Amino acid sequence: MMVVFSFPKLLVFMLLMMFLVSGCKGEDEASAKESGAVEFVGMEVDGRVYNPDPYASLYGDVYGDSPIDSVVDDLRDNDPYATYLMGVLYYNDYPEYGIKRDLEKGRELLEEAWRMGVIDAGYSLYEVYGSGNGVGESRSVALEYLISSAEMGYVKSQVALAEDYFGRGENDYLETDYRLSKEWYEKAAELGDKESGVALAKIYYEGYGVPVNYNAAFEWMKRAENMPYGSATFGFGTLAKCYEEGIGTTISLVQAYKYYDLRGTAGIPDKERLSEQMTPEQIQEAIRLSGEWQREHNISMPNSEGYQYR
């Protein structure tokens, strides 16, 4: 038997259903809050990366030697970066700044900083919700902050995603996917992360998800040399090996010796081994090139032979 509603009755029925659904939703939201359920917080303004260098000092590189009172004053003025920095300080243990650890306050400030457009806070919130320390642990919320901040250009988040897809991430949230790992390493390397450039060289050298390509491996090693973020000589041992063995490039014992020299004391055993195959003139040229590199990059390596030519 078909039930037919007249328009007035149908309208009353629809209003009743809307009321019931609305009531259930309200109860669900209240229940979620009581149970400690966590949700992703959206940004309310356009985002900005405040620290493009993933190895920068969050405090010193912005506030220098200024006392913590300067940060607190900026926090009172609703400064986005100060809000983020205080969130980091409260959530972690920094007794040197005279701040007593407060996990809840730290999380609240980090979420507020994210609302205010501090993309850097996304990585911190990924760590917060990934660990569940002081909050309800949520892998999905942690990943949402990580992916969102990575897509907005935060290098640290991009590297974390690349590492996770590669199968060596701290949390191992994602299925191993070398193609996606390479894509995120490329994004981070294009923004200047030296370690990502070296990781790409390894991907091509070992053939992780791509055909083995020694030329591409060498090219990424050379590009990584001039990337701004990371230890200045990171990967130089591998770069020296490329020149020594002709991996993706022409063999050059002079260049190999130069890069071993730039590793300081760590490169001494390799230099001693290599010197047996070189003339005194070649060794002297390599040392000169090491000093020239230090001078051009405004970096001093006191434990290198090239230091005298810097």
Q: What is the pLDDT of residues 213-259, one digit of tens each?
A: 999 999 999 999 999 999 999 999 999 999 999 999 999 999 999 99
Give me the number of domains the chain comprises. Answer: 1
109 touches 72 (CB < 8 A): no
Does the residue 253 lie in any domain? Answer: yes
Does the residue 136 lie in any domain? Answer: no
If you average pLDDT over every residue of the chain, what do you get? 89
Quote the domain boundaries for residue 261. 231-310
Does the residue 122 lie in any domain? Answer: no
Least confident residue range of 20-34, 95-109, 143-157, 245-259: 20-34
254 touches 286 (CB < 8 A): yes
Does the residue 156 lie in any domain? Answer: no
Does the residue 280 lie in any domain? Answer: yes
Does the residue 119 lie in any domain? Answer: no
Q: What is the value of pTM for the model shown? A: 0.85
Does the residue 236 lie in any domain? Answer: yes
Following CA atoms 117, 119, 120, 121 in sequence, which dihedral angle do they give, to the nearest 10 degrees?
60
Does the residue 240 lie in any domain? Answer: yes
